[in-house]
Homo-oligomer: A and B are copies of this chain.
Amino acid sequence: MSAFDGLGAIEPQALFEGIAARAVHGDRITLAVVELDPDSVLPEHSHENEQLGIVLRGSLTFRIGTEERLLGPGETWRIPPNTPHFARTGSQGAVVIDVFAPPREDWEAAERLKGRPPRWP
C-alpha cells in the first residue's frame, strides 16, 4: 500500500445531510477534508476522539462547548474528547480539514458517494 494518496482518488462519505468527507486513516490519526454545503448544519454531537481542524475555504459558525465563533480560512479549532460541538455554514458553504485521534473507525459504515469530484483545491 502506498504512503501517498490524493483527494481525487478517495471516495467521499456522507457524514450528515450536506456534509461529506474524504479521509486518510493512519494507525493513530484520521485526516479528513470535509465539504459542507451552503446553509448546512453539523448537528451538535460529541465523541471520544480528540479533534483539531482548520478552514480551507468559505466560512462557518462553530460552537465548542459554550464558545461560538465565525471562522474563515486559516482559522483553527481544538475539541477535547467528549465535548459537544456544532457548526453551520452560510451561503458560501465551506471546505475544512478535520483531524482525529484515535482514528474514526466508526466512519467505516458511512455511505460512499459515487462520482463526486472534490470541491477543493
Contacts and interface: CB of A to CB of B under 8 A. Distances in A.
Interface in A1-59: 2-8, 24, 26-29, 31, 33, 50, 52-54, 56
In the complex, the count of this chain's copies comes to 2
B4 A74 contact: no
Contacts of A52: 24, 26, 29, 31, 99
Interface in A64-87: 64-65, 67, 69, 71, 73-80
Contact of A80 (B24, B27, B74, B97): B27
Size bracket of the A interface: 35 or more
A121 interface: yes
Nearest to A65: B3
A107 interface: no
A121 B80 CA distance: 26
Contacts of A64: 3-4
A93 interface: no
Given A3-B64, A64-B3, A67-B2, A26 B76 contact: no
A99 B121 CA distance: 19
A90 interface: no
Contacts of A8: 74
